[in-house]
Chain A
């Protein structure tokens, strides 16, 4: 069997606002648009990925929050209605997606061998989290590629960002090893935003872009600092500064997705492509691609 590979790694945030603004047939609420900078960013990412042959999307979403270990969707098919509990006015989405259970199980087993607490999720009534659905839609609206969906272990809440990173680095290595052994070509996706301080009010027209801006200057500075590291091939510095970033920018990287992503890419020292940056009710969101296929070491 040919050796598998990670062909691209992406930071692919999941605000439901982006799906809402697009008015796809799967989503019930309708809008007059909005957040175009980010949606054009996703357009560029989709265009880029369409030129890279891949078999599977591997995603870690901060909205499947597990406190007891890391979980993997473990059935081959899920469908249903996803309603965002925080923005139900924006996101009521009918989803239908397939899981690459074989690869999920392989990552699960590798992670278990590495000493992580892991579990397969095999309850057919389970509702897939809206972060996975949103990122899944923005990256591949047809949902025509199988996915591996990994929960976000909230070890940061129990211990510290340092412990979270240790576990996520390990999970990243397990993910990478399993993908290489599988013979499949995978795109790995961390579904999280950067700075994460929300506004606590919403305008009558949620897509009113005259109201949209970063929550504070400090949040902007942090976002730009992290993006700069991404664009200049300094992923290790992101790992190094993750504790400060996570605390001071209340960053959604606390869910481990970004650390895990960088670990699956063996902490890349080549530049990433910034497809877009924008704010969503005050939070900072970047769409970033590491074009691994240009930097294969094998």
Chain B
């Protein structure tokens, strides 16, 4: 199904373009850009405006505004002398509730808020008053969780898309955010406003160049770097780009346009329009993990992530041992030796069975019949290749049995020997007595080493 986001916008959070655009030419240009965006949205066919605001921090997961008609007068904490902002918005409460449920379904903590007098944040108020002044389309506002990282923020977007798709709604996605967010710490004359530093200005222009080229996912993946370079180190980071990119299926070939870029008391304020039409540039590769479900609190104070598989036995000499991996068609048995990595003993595909490489190690004890080929210090030891080969075949037989197959059904075998000159004859004798008897095809290769101190391993394909 096509992505339901018909347009995306980045807009600044400070109240100057709303309250006093006439006091500075740059503020007026930002206001004009807001107006241009507003007209474009009005001409489109969006059913909903979704705002992710960085000036609404939350701690207990994400919060979604669900008061059908929040009404109040907002005064900015810093810029209270610029005036008051009366607001009365139309919120799509059904959507807010559905988004909240969709978050829960994907494992994400969130809740709706619907309280008289709830302080809607300045970024959301400025955005809604300028982009949607007559409440022509209903809105939804979501907070920015101070502890959320990329995975939570991405899931937040995916659950929002879930609801859009299930309701068939089309939406405009808006991030209320500064580019560089360092303001002057002194009071300045409106006429003297400029970006706080040349470095901030250069970074802002680089980010905006990417957005102009439609490279939203590139900006999202640079999010942490951008935060370190041009953001005051508050807990709310440059995370809206994670959200906005996920809302656009992590694409890098949108059609972007920077409608304005100006200073707001030193911070970088930009109005950017991102159209889902492909710019034909080709979508770049996607580097970071794509997450579908949030796996719970990140336990930032615990070193170990319990969701990442670990070896089950690290006590033996040589490689760590793992529980065999589970997965579609996986066949695993306690009667074969534990793997030395995260893979199953075998995997069933249709009526064929593919076995992982099988060596002679004994299940349970991990002992090597015929003896290991070297000691713990790497010194060579005498070993019995025939005993090792027999043990390999016995392990193969156990795995085949577990899968409901048998030796007669083996189709093809690839054998690996670490010392072809020394061992081929002995190996070949055991082969003839066992597997060779049933007539599978065979290839034998000499290789430099195997992960454990063994001389032979076989890779088997069988029918079921």
Query: Footprint of B on A, CB under 8 Å?
Result: 64-69, 71, 80-81, 83, 85-89, 92, 117, 119, 121-123, 125-127, 129, 151, 154-155, 157-158, 197-198, 200-202, 215-216, 218, 281
Contact = CB atoms under 8 A, between A and B. Distances in A.
Interface stretch (B90-98, B184-192, B317-325, B375-383): B184-192
B312 interface: no
B73 interface: yes
A186 to B, nearest CB: 24
A69 B186 contact: yes
A146 B61 CA distance: 37
B117 interface: yes
B185 A83 contact: no
Nearest to A123: B80
A125 B118 contact: no
B183 A68 contact: yes
Nearest to A155: B185
Contacts of A67: 78, 183, 185, 232
A279 to B, nearest CB: 15
A66 B78 contact: yes
Contacts of A198: 59, 147
A218 B83 CA distance: 45
A158 B147 CA distance: 20
A88 B115 contact: yes
B198 interface: no
5 tightest Cβ-Cβ pairs between the two chains A and B? A125-B84, A81-B117, A123-B80, A126-B75, A157-B232
A101 to B, nearest CB: 15
A200 B183 contact: no
A73 to B, nearest CB: 10
B75 A125 contact: yes
A86 B81 contact: no
A151 B113 CA distance: 27
Contact of B77 (A66, A80, A202, A215): A66
A65 B77 contact: yes
Given A126-B75, A201-B297, A86 B59 contact: yes
B265 interface: yes
Contacts of B109: 200-201
B119 interface: yes
A108 B195 CA distance: 28
B121 interface: yes
A198 B60 CA distance: 9
A80 B81 CA distance: 19
B116 interface: yes
26 contacts: A67-B183, A68-B78, A68-B183, A68-B184, A80-B117, A81-B117, A83-B115, A83-B118, A85-B58, A85-B118, A86-B57, A88-B115, A92-B115, A92-B116, A117-B186, A123-B84, A154-B232, A155-B185, A157-B233, A158-B185, A197-B301, A200-B59, A200-B147, A200-B297, A201-B60, A201-B109
B56 interface: yes
A68 B186 contact: yes
Nearest to B58: A86
B115 A117 contact: no
Given A68-B187, A158-B185, A201-B109, 4 more contacts: A68-B184, A92-B115, A123-B84, A200-B147
- Secondary structure class of chain A's binding surface, majority of residues: loop
Contact of B113 (A64, A81, A88): A88
B234 interface: yes
A122 B75 CA distance: 11
B84 A158 contact: no
Interface residues of B, number: 38
A179 to B, nearest CB: 25
A123 B145 CA distance: 30
A144 to B, nearest CB: 24
A87 B57 CA distance: 11
B230 to A, nearest CB: 13
A68 to B, nearest CB: 5
B182 interface: yes
Report which residue of A92, A151, A157, A215 has the largest number of chain B beta carbons within 10 angstroms of its beta carbon.
A157
Contacts of B183: 67-68
A68 B265 contact: yes
A285 to B, nearest CB: 15
B115 A119 contact: no
Given A88-B115, A158-B182, A198-B59, A117 B80 contact: no
Given A68-B184, A117-B186, A200-B147, A86 B60 contact: yes
Contact of B60 (A81, A200, A218): A200
A5 to B, nearest CB: 31
Interface in B280-333: 297, 301
A71 B79 CA distance: 10
Interface in B28-68: 56-61
A154 B233 CA distance: 11
Interface string B222-245: 000000000011100000000000
A88 B183 CA distance: 29
A92 B117 CA distance: 8
A77 B265 CA distance: 29
Nearest to B148: A200
A65 B58 CA distance: 15
Contacts of A155: 185
A182 B301 CA distance: 49
A117 B187 contact: yes
Contacts of B59: 86, 198, 200, 281
B388 to A, nearest CB: 51
Contacts of B233: 157
A43 B190 CA distance: 48
A197 B187 CA distance: 33
A85 B60 contact: no
B184 A127 contact: no
Contacts of A126: 75, 80
Most chain B CB inside 10 Å of its own CB: which residue of A80, A122, A125, A155: A125
A69 B185 contact: yes
Contacts of B79: 68
Contacts of B116: 81, 83, 92
Contacts of A197: 301
A92 B297 CA distance: 28
A121 B184 CA distance: 18
A129 B76 CA distance: 11
A154 B232 CA distance: 10
Interface in B232-287: 232-234, 265
Interface string B157-195: 000000000000000000000000011111100000000
B255 to A, nearest CB: 35
Contact of A127 (B60, B75, B78, B147): B75
Nearest to B86: A125
A109 to B, nearest CB: 15
